[in-house]
């Protein structure tokens, strides 16, 4: 187990290294001199030239790349061209905002998905089953930015139940400690703020949750159907335990594998792929941070931002793989 | 943005022997699956819309009638008009052409490139395999929408470049699939036999390996079209895809944001069109998987 | 272990559902809430109790890049720093006349080379440092010792840095505690206007020393009505009342929160939902919705901008003057303004807005006349029309709320005279980069004035010195260049105006642009908001603003 873990971690190094290389090539292929972009329309030619040299952009690309790698090895993710702040410091609030949203979405997805799946299987071929499964199919096919717009229109504008944009009530801002606002408000005992933070999470969270929710529901249902056919349930039944409770318990246990799979695949996608949701809901997350950085040609931010997201993604997948064997001893790795 | 259904399929490996030959049986199986048939009908519906668009839609989908701006659905404009006074229904009909074109061609592109890379990796193995597989790993570690955005930023925003970007980000999915098929087929007796009687690599590839990989590629491909349509819409929404006045659905959605409250129909219908098309392909893909690979039925 | 896992998962999920339910139900009973901490999420503006002071939430399109105004050229920064810092002199409310600020009076020598400023006494920076002549000197010394990439505006407004030949400022000296003397190497006509720009606001020398250049960008200290509190990147910047502000009774609000909501429609939605009190960058198409809403008011910003279609004169067929004139006749400005500016604009004739001194109102411009355009094309040898690329801006700007849609309308106008235009868009930075290299046939762009001087429009946008930067059309005219250079040093205003009027005649005849519109940028606010006088430069002083929320 340990050697397997180490081997996997070792394998990640060339992947991440290769990725930084591709990114650095790619961003330099985008037309537009960062110095010009940063200085803006007003800049004179000399100013642009001076800044180009100062940022080291006149050096050959491979020198720039090696310099960047050297920085990373010493834990330095570079300094934003635009704001002059170290990326390592700057990135955290953005990352926390997205992680909070993604985790929130995932919890909704897991909770509703598992329960819908179990109930569907339990009442197989009932109207509930049909509706739930049709909804799940629709959910998988949902353009989530459209769903976000629908939600904003319906629940925020027409009904006025939920806020349209942002993370918190700006009239009563959260005092950021960890930058996970739910945690921050709880440790400070700011219950009013906590409520606001959750209200702001609901619409973007539900949009992002749709796809994983639908997948989890479908996977849970099929694994549940298998459970119901197994000897094991028959035995439990023979022992006279209450059926639904038994099945619920076993189904939950069985649902762990699909849920883990989804977490592994989707959490990573949510981290980098929430750009559209972040745009619609003005969520100050990492997706927009990187997207804006592409617009500003802020090379250090793009490179390090993508690296951080990819790193989290591969780590989640690694952990998920390891958890498989933990939860289901039948899965073995050499 | 990636279609998760696709990712799950990867986990469920298919058995090649089951998919050999009996296409007819697969079709029969498919027909029995009502939901899949519904999906097929939806897809067919949009394909017909796309083909017959010039006859169904009103003339001059780009003609601007600024006097008729943002009219709600009515007898004259079934789905209302947009901010140029153009008929939304007609634009959606023409939009079907764009979305289907992007979906099909992007996926065909990724299948071709993915197959070549996958076959090379699987068939030759060793260091070639290591390099290609590692490359796939790198691609898959990218947040795919960001990668697509970066590619479009390099190439410049247009429908064609969005299509290329989508094709590129989907390559590793097919590459990996083909590679694993090749690996499992390679060890089969008849391939060993073919090699034994001196068949050339190329012939082995074309006469044995490729046909054997068809079924999973078709299944995956159908699901990938759904994803590609979503991705194209997402890029269009960000202004990185089709350019005006092209009636691309994602772009139509982006334009509708300004009229969310005053003219919600400009937002509702293009989104619905995207959702239905994607749903059609997903349902069909599910059905195909069940039909071509009965073992995987849940 | 497994069972435990299951249970804890279940427990977590239950807790979560409870929280969700609590949150959802919170939506409508805010008024009944008695919890002191429970601020209203903003569903309902009227439920906010405070009537004086309180918090103003200002939504805008982007985050600031820096809170040191001298280090950036980007407008979102100045919207905030305008309220934290003050300059020696400033623009009047809602206009560009020069009025006193940190200097209550000044004298200019006969030869226009010596400016003596008499500073306000009793002004302090937010960190307690006294404001005096020494502070002014230190700020200018800091800038003069800098370089073009650190202080880009200083470079372009004062002609370079210490030791550079073009540097206008000879010296800045403190004559006594509250008197500063600027000596110039040569007269500079817009010198006072330059000093009034937000970029040359005076910062606390002690704070700069304490934080260093880079950290000071995130820890601003000025003399303004508000002091800096917090910056949540890409989300919000909070400033609060400076209790020792030197003007009595100001500012009126306790706190101002600048929220960045990049999407125009999302910003409007936040305003409609009552989550913000004031929003800029309102789409002209949404103006009616705001006016119809009894809880909201529409505020118009005086126009000091121009939106135009640039024709790259080095590219065929726009190297032909007749073709350029034909383009001017072919485009129906009024219909563009009616459709996508919702009427909140005036058709442009010259490259600068009429509100600026030196505007030539004798020029009539090109009327919309497709027949005339066809004739001109015929004469130029393009009777069968031609194909061209029409570049559309991918981002909304006050001078061009929706470049893509304006381009679509133009496409139709051009088709009417036989020109086939293909709309091309690039990501914004690429767009500017390629256009500045002269790679666009015709491109939409615009400009918002920095200081209300004609030089800031005509010279910057159309002179040969600025080819490769802001003169995207590559238009070059020696006679016009001489006029501009002369006007930069002439300090007699009427003489200057004559020079600029002459230049406008040349521009009109040569037609390197199709000037489209001078738009009126729009803001939306809650009904109870008063005291806001929007400034044409786009950065607003909020010290007089108050919100009455009965």
Q: How far apart are CA C206 and CA B170, in angstroms?
A: 56
| Nearest alpha carbon to residue B177 among B247, B117, B230 | B117
Q: How far is A237 from chain C (nearest CA, A)?
A: 19
The CATH number linked to B136 is 1.10.3720.10
Chain B partners within 8 Å of A313 (Cβ): 141, 143
| Nearest Cβ partner for C424 among B69, B84, B243 | B243
Chain C partners within 8 Å of B156 (Cβ): 426-427, 430
Which chain C residue shows the shortest CA-CA distance from A291?
C427
Q: How far apart are CA B274 and CA B281, in angstroms?
A: 11
Q: How far apart are CA C453 and CA C194, in angstroms?
A: 9
Judge contact between C311 and C324, C-beta under 8 A.
Answer: yes
Q: How far apart are CA C281 and CA C31, in angstroms?
A: 31
Residue boundaries of the structural domains of chain A: 2-73, 94-327
Query: Is there a contact between B84 and C424 if contact means CB atoms under 8 Å apart?
Result: no
Query: Is there a contact between A272 and B257 if contact means CB atoms under 8 Å apart?
Result: no
Which chain A residue shows the shortest CA-CA distance from C447?
A41
Q: How far apart are CA C194 and CA C449, in angstroms?
A: 12
Residue of B143, B164, B224, B279 to mutate, testing the A interface (most A Cβ within 10 Å of its Cβ)? B143
* Chains touching chain A, criterion 3+ CB pairs below 8 Å: B, C
Q: How far apart are CA C549 and CA C48, in angstroms?
A: 7
Q: What is the pLDDT along chain B (298 residues), one digit of tens a residue?
A: 444 444 444 444 444 444 445 577 777 777 778 888 899 999 999 999 999 988 888 776 777 776 777 788 888 888 888 887 888 999 999 999 999 999 999 999 999 999 999 988 888 878 899 899 989 988 888 888 888 998 998 988 889 999 999 999 999 999 998 888 888 777 776 677 777 777 777 777 777 777 777 888 888 899 999 999 999 999 999 888 888 788 999 999 988 887 887 888 999 999 999 999 999 999 998 888 877 765 444 3
- Greatest mean pLDDT among A103-112, A318-327, B60-69: A103-112
Q: What are the pLDDT digits (tens) for A47-74?
A: 788 888 888 888 888 888 998 999 888 8
Token pair belonging to B195? 């090699």
Burial annotation B49-88 (CB, 10 A radius, 16+ → b, else e): bbeebeeebeeebbebeeebbbbeeeeebebbbbbbbbbb
- In the three-class reduction of DSSP (H, G, I as helix; E, B as strand; rest coil), residue A246 is classed as helix
Which chain C residue shows the shortest CA-CA distance from B258?
C265
Chain A partners within 8 Å of B36 (Cβ): none
Task: Give the number of other CB atoms < 10 A from CB of residue B294.
Answer: 14
Token pair belonging to B224? 């990938």
DSSP E strands, chain B: none
Q: Which residue has the higher pLDDT, A115 or B294?
A: A115
pLDDT of residue B14: 45
Q: Is residue B163 part of a domain?
A: yes
- CA–CA–CA angle C456, C462, C467 (5° rounding): 110
- The position carrying tokens 């393009």 is C382
* Chains touching chain B, criterion 3+ CB pairs below 8 Å: A, C
Q: How far apart are CA A190 and CA B206, in angstroms?
A: 67
Q: How far apart are CA B293 and CA B11, in angstroms?
A: 14
> Which pairing describes strands C278-280 and C55-60: parallel, antiparallel, or unpaired?
parallel
Query: Is there a contact between A146 and B271 if contact means CB atoms under 8 Å apart?
Result: yes
Residue B272: give the domain boundaries: 46-292
- DSSP-assigned letter for residue C317: T
pLDDT of residue B2: 41
| DSSP calls for B144-166 | HHHHHHHHHHHH-SSHHHHHHHH
pLDDT of residue B163: 95
Q: Is residue B160 part of a domain?
A: yes
Sequence-distant (≥ 6) Cβ neighbours of residue B248 within 8 angstroms: B95, B98, B99, B159, B232, B233, B236, B241, B242
pLDDT of residue C63: 85
pLDDT of residue C249: 86
Chain A partners within 8 Å of B283 (Cβ): 137
Strand partners, C130: C124
Residue of A10, A19, A25, A145 to mutate, testing the B interface (most B Cβ within 10 Å of its Cβ)? A145
What ipTM did this prediction achieve?
0.87
Chain C partners within 8 Å of A44 (Cβ): 148, 152, 155-156, 469
Which chain C residue shows the shortest CA-CA distance from B239?
C394
Q: What are the pLDDT digits (tens) for A121-152?
A: 888 888 998 899 889 989 989 898 899 999 98
Q: Please provide the size of chain B in residues.
A: 298
Query: Is there a contact between C66 and A83 if contact means CB atoms under 8 Å apart?
Result: yes
| Nearest Cβ partner for A140 among B4, B143, B264 | B4
pLDDT of residue B298: 37
Residue of A120, A140, A158 to mutate, testing the B interface (most B Cβ within 10 Å of its Cβ)? A140
The structure's pTM equals 0.82
Phi, psi of A242 (to 5 degrees): -70, 125
Query: Is there a contact between B258 and C411 if contact means CB atoms under 8 Å apart?
Result: no
Q: How far is B156 from chain A (nearest CA, A)?
A: 9
| Nearest Cβ partner for B243 among C285, C289, C425 | C425
Instruction: Classify residue C471 by burial, with Cβ atoms within 10 Å: 0-12, 13-18, 19+.
Output: buried
Token pair belonging to C480? 């016009």
Query: Is there a contact between C269 and A156 if contact means CB atoms under 8 Å apart?
Result: yes
Chain A partners within 8 Å of C155 (Cβ): 44, 46-47
Which chain B residue shows the shortest CA-CA distance from A225?
B298
Chain C partners within 8 Å of B239 (Cβ): 394, 404, 425
Which chain C residue shows the shortest CA-CA distance from A50?
C149
Q: Is residue B93 part of a domain?
A: yes
Mean pLDDT, range A17-27, rounded to an integer: 90
Token pair belonging to C477? 């005219």
Which A residues 162-221 touch B at CB under 8 Å?
211-212, 215, 219
Chain C partners within 8 Å of B157 (Cβ): 394, 425-427
Sequence-distant contacts of B78-85: CB under 8 A, at least 24 apart = B79/B265, B79/B269, B80/B263, B80/B265, B80/B266, B80/B269, B82/B252, B82/B255, B82/B256, B82/B266, B83/B255, B83/B258, B83/B259, B83/B263, B83/B266, B83/C285, B83/C405, B84/B245, B84/C339, B84/C405, B84/C408, B84/C409
pLDDT at A245 over 80: no
Q: In chain C, which residues have pLDDT < 70?
A: 1-52, 550
Interchain contact A316–B (C-beta under 8 A): no
Chain C partners within 8 Å of A110 (Cβ): 13
Sequence-distant (≥ 6) Cβ neighbours of residue C544 within 8 angstroms: C250, C251, C252, C531, C532, C533
| Nearest Cβ partner for A141 among B35, B226, B261 | B226
Query: Is there a contact between A149 and B4 if contact means CB atoms under 8 Å apart?
Result: no
Q: How far apart are CA A318 and CA A310, in angstroms?
A: 12
- The position carrying tokens 């980000």 is B169
Chain A partners within 8 Å of B261 (Cβ): 153, 157-158
Q: What is the CATH number of domain A94-327?
A: 1.10.3720.10
Q: How far lies C237's CA from each of A93, A172, C218, C240, in Å? A: 14, 13, 11, 10
Chain C partners within 8 Å of B245 (Cβ): 408, 411, 423
Strand partners, C515: C308
Q: How far is C404 from chain B (nearest CA, A)?
A: 7
Which chain B residue shows the shortest CA-CA distance from C403?
B244
| Nearest Cβ partner for A171 among C33, C42, C152 | C42
Which chain B residue shows the shortest CA-CA distance from A314?
B141
| Nearest Cβ partner for C39 among A35, A172, A280 | A172
- Give the torsion sign (CA, A272, A273, A279, A283): negative
Number of domains in chain B: 1
pLDDT of residue A236: 66
Q: Please provide the size of chain C in residues.
A: 550
Chain B partners within 8 Å of A23 (Cβ): 150
Note if the bond before C395 is cis, omega within 30 degrees.
no
Q: How far apart are CA B231 and CA B1, in angstroms?
A: 6
pLDDT of residue A329: 62
Which chain C residue shows the shortest CA-CA distance from B260?
C265
Residue of C17, C41, C167, C272 to mutate, testing the A interface (most A Cβ within 10 Å of its Cβ)? C41
Rounded to the nearest angstrom, the gap between the alpha carbon of residue C36 and the centroid of all alpha carbons in its chain is 39
Q: How far apart are CA B4 and CA A83, in angstroms?
A: 36
Sequence-distant (≥ 6) Cβ neighbours of residue A303 within 8 angstroms: A20, A23, A24, A27, A68, A78
Query: Is there a contact between B260 and C423 if contact means CB atoms under 8 Å apart?
Result: no
Query: Is there a contact between C283 and B258 if contact means CB atoms under 8 Å apart?
Result: yes
Which run of H or of E encompasses B186?
A: helix B159-186
Q: Is residue B117 part of a domain?
A: yes
pLDDT of residue B293: 62
Q: How far is B153 from chain C (nearest CA, A)?
A: 7
pLDDT of residue C150: 80
Which run of H or of E encompasses C345?
A: strand C345-347
Which chain A residue shows the shortest CA-CA distance from B133?
A15
């Amino acid at each position: 187990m340990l050697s397997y873990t180490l081997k996997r971690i070792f394998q990640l190094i060339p992947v991440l290294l290769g990725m930084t290389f591709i990114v650095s090539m790619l961003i330099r292929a985008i037309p537009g001199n960062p110095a010009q972009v940063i200085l803006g329309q007003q800049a004179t030619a000399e100013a642009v030239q001076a800044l180009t040299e100062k940022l080291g952009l006149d050096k050959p690309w491979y020198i720039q790349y090696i310099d960047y790698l050297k920085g990373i090895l010493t834990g330095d993710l570079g300094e934003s061209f635009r704001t002059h702040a170290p990326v390592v410091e700057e990135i955290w609030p953005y990352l926390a905002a997205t992680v909070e949203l993604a985790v929130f979405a995932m919890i909704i997805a897991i909770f509703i998905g598992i329960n819908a799946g179990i109930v569907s299987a339990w009442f197989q071929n009932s109207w509930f089953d049909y509706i739930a499964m049709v909804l799940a199919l629709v959910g998988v096919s949902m353009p989530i930015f459209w769903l976000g717009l629908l939600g904003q229109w319906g629940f925020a504008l027409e009904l006025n139940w939920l806020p349209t944009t942002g993370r918190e009530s700006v009239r009563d801002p959260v005092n950021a400690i960890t930058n996970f606002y739910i945690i921050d408000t709880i440790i400070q005992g700011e219950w009013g703020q906590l409520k606001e933070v959750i209200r702001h999470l609901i619409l973007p969270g539900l949009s992002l949750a749709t796809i994983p929710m639908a997948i989890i529901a479908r996977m849970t249902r099929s694994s549940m159907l298998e459970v119901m056919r197994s000897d094991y349930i028959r035995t439990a039944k023979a022992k006279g335990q209450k059926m639904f409770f038994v099945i619920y318990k076993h189904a939950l246990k069985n649902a762990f594998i699909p849920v883990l799979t989804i977490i592994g695949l989707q959490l990573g996608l949510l981290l980098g792929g929430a750009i559209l949701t972040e745009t619609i809901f003005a969520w100050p997350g990492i997706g927009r941070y990187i997207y804006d950085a592409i617009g500003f040609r802020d090379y250090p931010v793009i490179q390090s931002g993508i690296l951080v997201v990819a790193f989290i993604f591969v780590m989640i997948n690694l952990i998920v793989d390891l958890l498989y064997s933990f939860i289901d001893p039948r899965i073995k790795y050499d | 943005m990636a279609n998760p259904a696709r990712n799950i399929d990867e986990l469920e490996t298919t058995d090649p022997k089951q998919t050999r030959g009996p296409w007819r049986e697969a079709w029969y199986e498919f027909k029995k699956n009502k939901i899949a048939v519904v999906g097929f009908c939806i897809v067919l519906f949009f394909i017909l819309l796309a083909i017959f668009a010039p006859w169904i839609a009103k003339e001059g989908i780009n003609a601007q009638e600024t006097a008729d701006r943002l009219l709600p659905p009515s007898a004259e404009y079934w789905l209302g008009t947009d901010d140029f006074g153009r008929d939304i229904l007609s634009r959606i009909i023409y939009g079907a052409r764009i979305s289907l074109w992007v979906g099909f061609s992007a996926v065909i592109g990724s299948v071709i490139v993915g197959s070549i890379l996958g076959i090379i990796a699987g068939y030759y193995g060793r260091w070639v395999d290591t390099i290609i597989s590692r490359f796939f790993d790198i691609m898959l570690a990218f947040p795919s929408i960001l990668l697509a955005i970066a590619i479009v930023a390099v190439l410049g925003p247009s429908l064609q470049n969005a299509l290329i970007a989508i094709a590129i980000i989907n390559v590793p999915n097919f590459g990996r699939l083909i590679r694993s098929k090749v690996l499992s087929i390679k060890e089969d007796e008849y391939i060993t036999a073919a090699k034994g009687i001196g068949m050339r690599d190329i012939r082995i590839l074309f006469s044995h390996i490729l046909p054997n990989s068809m079924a999973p590629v078709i299944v995956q491909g159908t699901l990938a079209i759904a994803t590609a349509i979503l991705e194209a819409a997402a890029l269009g929404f960000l202004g990185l895809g089709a350019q005006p006045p092209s009636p691309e659905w994602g772009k139509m959605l982006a334009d509708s944001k300004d009229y969310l409250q005053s003219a919600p129909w400009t937002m509702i219908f293009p989104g619905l069109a995207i959702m239905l098309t994607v749903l059609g392909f997903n349902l069909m893909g599910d059905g195909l998987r069940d039909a071509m690979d009965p073992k995987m039925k849940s | 272990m497994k069972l435990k896992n299951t249970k804890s998962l279940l427990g977590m999920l239950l807790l979560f559902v409870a929280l969700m339910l609590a949150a959802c139900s919170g939506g409508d009973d805010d008024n009944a809430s008695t919890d002191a901490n429970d601020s209203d999420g903003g569903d309902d503006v009227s439920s906010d109790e405070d009537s004086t002071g309180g918090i103003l939430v200002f939504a805008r399109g982007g985050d600031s890049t820096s809170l040191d105004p001298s280090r950036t050229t980007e407008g979102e920064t100045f919207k905030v720093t305008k309220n934290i810092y003050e300059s020696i002199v400033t623009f009047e409310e809602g206009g560009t006349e020069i009025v006193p600020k940190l200097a209550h009076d000044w004298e200019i020598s006969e030869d226009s080379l010596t400016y003596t400023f008499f500073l306000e006494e009793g002004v302090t920076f937010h960190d307690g440092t006294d404001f005096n002549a020494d502070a002014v000197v230190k700020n200018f010394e800091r800038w003069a010792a800098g370089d073009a990439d650190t202080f880009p505006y200083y470079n372009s407004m004062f002609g370079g840095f210490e030791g550079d030949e073009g540097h206008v400022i000879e010296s800045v000296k403190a004559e006594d505690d509250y008197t500063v003397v600027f000596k110039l190497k040569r007269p500079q006509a817009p010198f006072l206007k330059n000093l009034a720009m937000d970029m040359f606001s005076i910062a606390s020398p002690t704070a700069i020393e304490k934080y260093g250049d880079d950290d000071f960008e995130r820890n601003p200290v000025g003399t303004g009505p508000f002091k800096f509190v917090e910056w949540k990147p890409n989300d919000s910047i909070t400033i609060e009342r400076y209790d020792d502000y030197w003007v009595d009774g100001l500012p009126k609000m306790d706190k101002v929160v600048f929220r960045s909501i990049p999407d125009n429609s999302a910003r409007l939605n936040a305003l409609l939902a009552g989550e913000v009190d004031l929003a800029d960058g309102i789409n002209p198409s949404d103006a009616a919705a705001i006016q119809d809403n009894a809880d909201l008011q529409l505020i118009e910003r005086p126009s000091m901008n121009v939106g135009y279609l640039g024709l790259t004169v080095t590219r065929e067929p726009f190297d032909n003057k007749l073709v350029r004139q034909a383009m001017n006749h072919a485009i129906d400005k009024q219909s563009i303004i009616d459709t996508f500016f919702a009427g909140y604009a005036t058709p442009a004739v010259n490259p600068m807005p009429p509100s600026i001194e030196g505007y030539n109102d004798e020029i009539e411009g090109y009327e919309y006349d497709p027949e005339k355009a066809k004739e001109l094309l015929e004469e130029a040898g393009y009777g069968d029309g031609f194909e061209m690329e029409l570049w559309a801006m991918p981002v909304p700007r006050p001078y061009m709320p929706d470049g893509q849609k304006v381009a679509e309308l133009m496409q139709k106008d051009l088709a009417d005279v036989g020109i086939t235009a293909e709309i091309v868009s690039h990501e914004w930075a690429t767009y500017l980069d390629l256009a500045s290299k002269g790679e666009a046939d015709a491109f939409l762009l615009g400009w918002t004035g920095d200081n209300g001087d004609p030089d800031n429009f005509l010279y910057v946008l159309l002179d040969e010195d600025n080819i490769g930067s802001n003169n995207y059309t590559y238009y070059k005219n020696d006679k016009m260049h001489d006029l501009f250079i002369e006007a930069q040093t002439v300090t007699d205003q009427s003489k200057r105006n004559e020079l600029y009027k002459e230049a406008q005649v040349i521009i009109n005849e040569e037609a390197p642009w199709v000037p489209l519109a001078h738009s009126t940028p729009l803001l939306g606010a809650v009904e109870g908001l008063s005291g806001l006088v929007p400034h044409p430069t786009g950065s607003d002083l909020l010290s007089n603003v108050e919100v009455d929320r009965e």
